Structure 1
Amino acid sequence: MSDAKSSRSIADIAERFKSIDVCMLVTKTGPDAAIAARPMSNNGDVSKGDGTTFHFATDDGRIDDDLKRSPQCGATYSHGEFYGSVQGVAKLIRDRNVMEEHWVDELEKWFENGLDTDGLVLIEVNPQRIAWWEGREQGELTPGG
């Protein structure tokens, strides 16, 4: 890959992330803050304004504990020649009204009881740094910066 630079907006990159359903969400885990990654759907829900993504999970797994311990996280996206990386801060949301705003029916394949699933939580990832690569182009964005 060359060092050719290209300028794309956060809205451009957010649109790419939106078109890639599954990312690898990375957290710090355990007392030693080891790295853990797991596939998560972004449900096509990516803010064009700042690249914020939204992911549903349940609070009975490790991801909930990880994000309570440290909200720092990352996500990686890949499709064809496009690769993206997000470094950000996560927030766990349990407010049903907010979850309803981000829910899509396709999530019922993972959460049989929909929004009534025990322990359902919405993970909002607010990016602090977004890096991307596509072919010979690459760039880095700092939302809000």
Structure 2
Amino acid sequence: MAEKNVSGAEGIAKIKELTKDIHIAMLTTVADDGTLHARPMGTESTDFDGTLWFITRLDSGKVDEIREDSHVLVSYEQPKDGMYLSLQGRAGIVKDRALIKQHWYKMADAWFKEGSDDPAAALIQVKVTGGEYWESSSSGIVRLGRLALASVLGADKVSVGDAGKITL
């Protein structure tokens, strides 16, 4: 895989491109005993600007974990397309009603009987600091063929896609 490094506006554009059709991310937090907890979270389809937003309940364990240690990891994947993205950042809890309404999406109503006005509703704001991505440049069958060829000829002779680091 070709290694690339992108930063700033180019990094934001890369994250936008990779996440545009993904609606579920895995959010990983750190518990007070140091264990890692990952859970699926709905992700907005709004334009990424360096910050990710997730709707949550104020009484959830992840809120307590973020208050104790704000370091988080957010992972996205599209295995059928050969795309994987891992983003690091710092998270915070936001209770601002106007922001909650701004980032609200209809599916969240299933967890909050009063919708965006529910007092238990809050946002997790993740300010992304960087990440890594891996993406294939071809379909699954072509990817398998290239991997087989790379195992015979050597990975430096056959491209199976791109990988890189993102810094914001």
Structure-1-length-normalised TM-score:
0.86
- Aligned counterpart, 1:77: 76
**AA in 1 matched with 2:167:** T
- Aligned counterpart, 2:15: 13
SS class of match (1:132)? strand
Structure 1 unaligned segments of length 5 or more: list them: none
Aligned length: 138
Q: Does 1:134 align with 2:135?
A: yes
Q: Would you tell me which structure has more helix in proportion to its own residues?
A: 2
- Aligned counterpart, 2:24: 22
Contact 2:4–2:165 (CA under 8 A) maintained in structure 1:
no
Q: Which runs of 4+ in 1 moved over 4 A?
A: none
Paired with 2:85 and 2:111, the residues of 1 have a C-alpha distance of 25
Paired with 2:84 and 2:108, the residues of 1 have a C-alpha distance of 25
Identity level (%): 28
Structure 2 unaligned segments of length 5 or more: list them: 137-160
Deviation at 1:19, TM superposition (A): 1.6
Contact 2:5–2:166 (CA under 8 A) maintained in structure 1:
no
Structure-2-length-normalised TM-score:
0.75
Structure of higher CA gyration radius: 2
1:76-119 alpha-carbon deviations (Å, 9 max, x no partner): 10013100001100111001011111112232133332112232
Deviation at 1:128, TM superposition (A): 0.8
RMSD: 1.7
- Aligned counterpart, 1:38: 39
Q: Does 1:66 align with 2:65?
A: yes
Deviation at 1:45, TM superposition (A): 3.3
